[in-house]
Amino acid sequence: MIFLLGGVLMLPCRLAAQETAPVLAKGSLVIVGGAMQDTAIFNRFMQLAGGWDAPIVVVPTAMADDLSPEMLQRVEQNFRERGVQQLTVLHTKDRQLADSEAFTAPIEQARGLWFTGGRQWRIADSYLHTRTQAAFEALLQRGGVIGGSSAGATIQGAYLARGDTKTNTIMMGDHEEGFAFLPNTAIDQHLLVRNRQFDLIEIISAHPELLGIGLDENTAIVVQGEEFEVIGQSFVAIYDHRLWTPQGREAAGYVLPQEAKFFFLRPGDRYNYVKREVVKWQGRGRAVFER
């Protein structure tokens, strides 16, 4: 079964990957497209962290160039109101401090870490290639969970979409490197609400080895191992360059219109980002495809 949304095909793709991407070996990711009004998404993050009394670190660095004590206090209040009991708000613009043992100590004790929204390049400026980034990765290796919404979603990819310091409308800007928690990917957010569904095509055209993932607001992917599940209220778009060629369409067993560059997944669907194939796909309220 094939459905259209805004003229774009929604279909299960079973095209096998030509290359094997690294796999998220341990831990989990919760990558959110923005807004965060669906409480089930953050509840899932806390469940993966081990419950509401698990030690959580929140990194609000993306929010602004200058975060006042009052802003940091509001961030802490927001997460405590969500139910987090053991909370550390961690922020710096000083890369030397981000390279210190004292700064990373709370991360080394945490079971979960959350990146807030804002501008993703601010996170990269502060923590990329520092002891702090190594502490993020160690958290995953010991089975913890890293989550983030909006900018906190994009930073988890390998290519930093909308990483330009001038404006968030430039897809390929002066910052291009993310943390690559989800390897070989470029991640975009606020997809349909802000009419961004065509924007990742620019990045995937320039870097066809990447998998593009676009998330609408109040929608997330929960990544474990080489698969992710879509949760929330809207759609996730998948951009796979190998589907853009006649050979790719033939290998997938589908004939794609020339103008189709992405397809949609909905809540409950599962996708293998290494093999680049849909594991479970639903249509019109009933399962129509499941491997």
Would you tell me which CATH number, out of the four given (3.40.50.170, 1.10.10.10, 3.30.70.20, 3.40.50.880), belongs to the domain 3-278? Answer: 3.40.50.880
Residue boundaries of the structural domains of the chain: 3-278
Mean pLDDT of 159-166: 98
- 251 pLDDT tier (thresholds 50, 70, 90): low
Is the pLDDT at 286 greater than 80? The verdict is no
Is the pLDDT at 259 greater than 60? The verdict is yes
What are the pLDDT digits (tens) for 84-106? 999 999 999 999 999 999 999 99
- The pLDDT assigned to 254 comes to 58
- 257 pLDDT tier (thresholds 50, 70, 90): low
What are the pLDDT digits (tens) for 3-28? 333 334 444 444 434 344 455 668 99
DSSP structure string for the chain: --EEETTEEE----PPPSSPPP-EEEEEEEEE-S----HHHHHHHHHHHTSTTSEEEEE-GGG-SS--HHHHHHHHHHHHHHT-SEEEE---S-HHHHTSHHHHHHHHH-SEEEE-SS-HHHHHHHHTTSHHHHHHHHHHHTT-EEEEETHHHHTTEEE-TT--SS-TT-SS-S--B---SEEEEEEE-STTTTT-TTTHHHHHHH-TTSEEEEE-TTEEEEEEETEEEEEESS-EEEEEGGGGSHHHHHHHT----TT---EEE-TT-EEETTTTEEEEEEETTEEEEE-
Stated pTM of the model = 0.90
